Amino acid sequence: MDKMLRVNMSELTVREEPFPQEWTFLGGRALSARILLKEVDAKCDPLGAENKLIFAPGVLSGSIAPTSGRMSVGAKSPLTAGIKEANSGGQAGQKLMRLGYRALLVEGKAKDPAKRYLLALKSSGVELRECPELKGLRTYACSERLADCYSGRAAFVMCGSAGELGLHGASIAFTDEGKRHPSRHAARGGLGAVMGSKGLKAVVVDDEGTRARQAADAAGFRAFVTQYSKDYKAGPQFLQYGTAVNVNLANMMSTFPTRNRREMQFEGAASLDGSNILQNYLVRGGSQHGCMSGCIVQCSNTVNDAEGKYVTSALEFETVALCGSNCAIADLDKVARIDRLCDELGLDTIETGGAIGLAMECGALPFGDADGVIALLEKVDKGDALAEAIGHGVVAVAKRFNTDRVPAVRGQGLPAWEPRTLNATGVTYASSAMGGDHTAGLILAPADDNARASQEAQLINALCDSSGFCQFQGPGIDDMRILYNALYGGSLTFEDMVDIGWQCLEDEWEFNRRAGFTLDDYDLPEWMRTEAVPSNGAVFAVPKEEIQRVFQRMPISDELRMKKAIG
């Protein structure tokens, strides 16, 4: 029987409850949004006891559907003061579902703020205990300590030292398949600070003794999965060598942030391109792999140093852009070291790279000073005031230096993909409940109708984040519908699936409305409408009235029926 687990950190209690039948087809992002809207006061302090942290695997997680084990983490964000869902790969989503948990709800906060707690979930039961031995540990050290205590099947979810300190750019780390590196992160929105505020240091999910979830129509489910996987592998594998292979494309398109977005093309782009990682495999070792069992995308890379020693996994495009070109750093090895430090501390590399780039423009460091960045990050959990501001993110740095040219939307630092060059993506940044977040609905091709393109991209990506699928796999709405029906014996139509996606978006917007957001808050910074990208002359030119069309549901188009998720 599907169930939810409620963990009360104020009372140090755990309670299982049945999963509501009317939520059968809700998972991941749609489920966390529904719970937050129903149970959380939208005006609450994000780091207070009233906020709730929701871990929700996708509807298909734990099954044999390929690359379907992604986990949504939801809460009120300390960065945006609105609703936030951060999505991560790794092993925990698959395992949580195989234990029968559709959601893990963490509420309240530890009465003693100095104490840290660990939650262990196994088929034999649940344990919540104090873990002083883990307090203050960075994620890699924490994972190693946990690996000494739990079986090889266990996956770990961790709050880094940045989250324990309540830094608003803090992420939540998930261990990947194989060596259990804490290299997958629910990174955006500062949800690591929410986890830290509750006193929850780590969650152990051990599915030993369980098996893959069984579909109501087992034969139909398996047949569709087999054909779907075959078709995917036979198609173009754009990301088989990792997302960093997008560097040269982004640079050519003038959407590769450089020197705090003063430029959108970087003279050192070739040095940062992911093809260098592939070439290094021959000399340094390393490989392409999946971050979770059952992955058919295999976009994750392992980056080793010149001596063949492991540094980080995976070095993603967004990290290379924000921590590389945005800071005028053209050394891929140094960017890999910065990525590793962010993973250890539990910091979002997008928020952190944006904050460092802004601090550089304000004179805190010279552009290109990779060693200075590394030294600064080493101080994040050691009480340094500037490093702490970096850990709090872009807006905190802007306040420290009293600058009003801030590359953020509703408190959250912008991703690499540039809204002045990509106006339809800019509409997503402006209208999404999430603030500036490319995974909410990235659109790379020019659109005739920016509002419609954004709405459709946001809808299908909300569905993808709710299914457990990886956006890089590019599932269509019908793919998800067929699998939902086979798994649960349902009869969902295409229109029903669209309704689920739209309801997810409406739940998120409604949460923000209750939090105090108005239509005027859904826009980009004014400087993006007036300061042109030097290499192509582009500005963000979509009127506010056009952005607001996104909030009015449009009829299903032929394009939507064919559309695939993309992030």
Condensed to tens digits (0 to 9), the pLDDT of residues 405-434 reads: 999 999 999 999 999 999 999 999 999 999
**Range in 329-333, 446-450, 558-562 the model is least confident about:** 558-562
The reported pTM is 0.97
Report the pLDDT value the prediction gives residue 560, as an integer from 0 to 100.
86
DSSP H helices in 40-190? 92-98, 139-147, 161-164
Q: How confident is the model at residue 279 (pLDDT cuts 50, 70, 90)?
A: confident
- Point out which residues pair with 476 in neighbouring strands: 564
Tell me the average pLDDT across 252-276: 96
User: What backbone phi and psi angles, to 5 degrees, belong to 5?
Assistant: -120, 125
Q: How confident is the model at residue 355 (pLDDT cuts 50, 70, 90)?
A: very high
Tell me the average pLDDT across 242-266: 95
Give how far Cα 520 sits from Cα of 67, 399, 431, 525, Å.
38, 22, 10, 12
Helices and strands (H and E) in the chain: how many: 22, 18
Spatial separation of the C-alpha atoms in residues 315 and 300, rounded to whole Å: 8
Report the pLDDT value the prediction gives residue 238, as an integer from 0 to 100.
67
Count Cβ neighbours within 10 Å for each residue of 80-100 and write b for 16 or more, e otherwise. bbbbbbbbbbbbbbbbbbbbb
* CA atoms lying within 13 Å on the CB side of residue 50: 10
* Dihedral angle computed from the Cα positions of residues 29, 31, 37 and 42, in that order, rounded to the nearest 10 degrees: -40
* CA atoms lying within 13 Å on the CB side of residue 231: 10
Q: How confident is the model at residue 241 (pLDDT cuts 50, 70, 90)?
A: confident
Domain with CATH 1.10.569.10 in the chain: 239-252+256-413
The DSSP line for 104-130 is EEEES--SSTT--EEEEEETTEEEEEE
Where does 423-562 sit in CATH, by number?
1.10.599.10
CA nearest to 243, candidates 170, 174, 195, 297: 297
Work out the number of other CB atoms within 10 angstroms of the CB of residue 144. Answer: 12
Report the pLDDT value the prediction gives residue 567, as an integer from 0 to 100.
55
Report the pLDDT value the prediction gives residue 466, as an integer from 0 to 100.
98
144-161: pLDDT as tens digits: 999 999 999 999 999 999
Tell me the average pLDDT across 258-267: 98
Spatial separation of the C-alpha atoms in residues 15 and 542, rounded to whole Å: 49
Q: How confident is the model at residue 558 (pLDDT cuts 50, 70, 90)?
A: confident
54-72: pLDDT as tens digits: 999 999 999 999 999 999 9
User: What integer best gives the mean pLDDT of the chain?
Assistant: 96
Amino acid making up residue 120: A
Q: Which residue has the tokens 């939540």?
A: 172
Contact 261, 418 (CB under 8 A): yes
Say which CATH architecture domain 3-206 belongs to.
4-Layer Sandwich (3.60)
Report the pLDDT value the prediction gives residue 235, as an integer from 0 to 100.
81
Tell me the average pLDDT across 445-467: 96
Domain with CATH 1.10.599.10 in the chain: 423-562
SS3 422: coil
Domain with CATH 3.60.9.10 in the chain: 3-206
Tell me the three-class secondary structure of 296-333, residue by residue: CCCCEECEECCCCCEEECCCCHHHHHHHCHHHCCCCHH
At the topology level, CATH places domain 239-252+256-413 in: 1.10.569
81 secondary structure, DSSP code: S
Tell me the average pLDDT across 183-210: 97
pLDDT at 181 over 60: yes
pLDDT at 529 over 80: yes
**Range in 47-51, 341-345, 563-567 the model is least confident about:** 563-567
Work out the number of other CB atoms within 10 angstroms of the CB of residue 289. Answer: 17
Report the pLDDT value the prediction gives residue 211, as an integer from 0 to 100.
95
Spatial separation of the C-alpha atoms in residues 552 and 494, rounded to whole Å: 20
Q: How confident is the model at residue 286 (pLDDT cuts 50, 70, 90)?
A: confident
Token output for 208: 């030993």
Mention every residue, 6+ apart, whose C-beta is less than 8 A from residue 368.
327, 328, 329, 330
Report the pLDDT value the prediction gives residue 289, as an integer from 0 to 100.
83
Report the pLDDT value the prediction gives residue 389, as an integer from 0 to 100.
98
Contact 159, 182 (CB under 8 A): no
The helix (H) or strand (E) run that includes residue 353 is: helix 349-361
297-341: pLDDT as tens digits: 888 889 999 999 999 998 999 999 999 999 999 999 999 999 999
